Amino acid sequence: MKFTRRDTLILAAAASALSLCGVATANAAEGDVVDQAKLMAPAGGMTDHMQGSDTAPVTVIEYASPTCPHCATFANTVKPDFVAAYVNTGKVRLITRPFVRNVLDAAVFMLAEAAGPTNYDNVLATYFKTQNDWAASEAPRDKILEIAKQLGFTQETFDAALTNQALFTGMEAMRDQALNDFGLQGTPTFYVNGKTLTGDKTLEQLAAEIDPLVPADFVPTEPTAAAPAAPAATPAAPAATDTMAPAAPAAETATPVAPAQ
């Protein structure tokens, strides 16, 4: 079963979301520095979901796409150790931002938003872990719904979550800002205190960038156990919708925002 006009947000703008990818006016290369103040002002009225201390000496912003296999590799094999070593110890505040390449990306991020801030990261982590099950499925809506119910959604809250037009418009604006202002070219892309790092990174590669930015006299906080996942929150009201768009292809170490020429 495909996403339909009745039960998804997406939109006449789904085609726009894909066609706009890759039209950035800037092209940031590995190591380029983006103004931190601009990075910390997400477009579209979006509110960042932050993990860690707001007084951490290092801020890492990741732009991620749930259908991106390289984002899944990072989320599944690197992020847990990264969070334990850097986020839970107060060295890093980590912000994961949506980069919507297609309708499936939008659906996952909309479910994460609807689940509420305490469950946002858990929803994303679950869909990254199960990416092979739903992203390549012939019935992606059914698979995404099945996983959503395991996370506490009902049919009604699932339908409502996927019809939040204002949220989708905000995610479009955030995506366009990343393309046009920050020069993002693929996912995942990381900004470490403004420095651009492209492609999936190992813990060692991130440590090499972060450790020199942590003051020598910094006193780490004691890591705390993760709080149990909260049930899905009441999502926003419905809006206009459209049909499903295909996922973009994978790249070598990062997934491009548009198919390679």
Phi then psi for residue 101, to 5 deg, are -100, -15
141: number of Cβ within 10 Å: 21
- Look up residue 235 and give its two tokens: 């999502």
| Domain positions in the chain | 13-214
Question: What is the pLDDT at residue 11?
Answer: 36
Beta bridge partners of 33: 195
| Average confidence score pLDDT of the chain | 82
Q: Render pLDDT for 136-163 as a digit per residue (tens, 0 to 9).
A: 899 999 999 999 999 999 999 999 999 9
Cα–Cα dist 25/183, whole Å = 7
Question: What is the pLDDT at residue 5?
Answer: 43
Q: How far apart are the first and last CA of the chain?
A: 31
- Mean pLDDT across 84-106: 96
pLDDT tier for residue 256 given thresholds of 50, 70 and 90: low
Contact 172, 182 (CB under 8 A): no
- Look up residue 21 and give its two tokens: 């990818």
Cα–Cα dist 204/208, whole Å = 6
Q: Say which amino acid occupies 187.
A: T
**Of the candidates 224, 98, 68, 219, the residue with the CA atom closest to the CA atom of residue 168:** 98
Cα–Cα dist 77/204, whole Å = 12
Cα–Cα dist 158/235, whole Å = 8
**Do you know the residue count of the chain?**
261
Which residue has better confidence, 122 or 22? Answer: 122
Which residue has better confidence, 165 or 225? Answer: 165
Q: Render pLDDT for 33-75 as a digit per residue (tens, 0 to 9).
A: 999 999 999 999 999 999 999 999 999 999 999 999 999 999 9
Domain 13-214: give its CATH code. 3.40.30.10
Q: Say which amino acid occupies 179.
A: L
Contact 145, 69 (CB under 8 A): no
Q: Say yes or no to pLDDT of 251 above 70.
A: no
Question: What is the pLDDT at residue 259?
Answer: 36
Q: Say yes or no to pLDDT of 180 above 60.
A: yes
Which residue has better confidence, 89 or 251? Answer: 89
Q: How far is CA 259 from the centre of its chain?
A: 19
Give the contacts of 149 (CB within 8 A, at least 6 positions apart): 155, 158
**Of the candidates 219, 241, 218, the residue with the CA atom closest to the CA atom of residue 168:** 241
Question: What is the pLDDT at residue 221?
Answer: 82
**Of the candidates 70, 11, 61, 66, the residue with the CA atom closest to the CA atom of residue 252:** 70
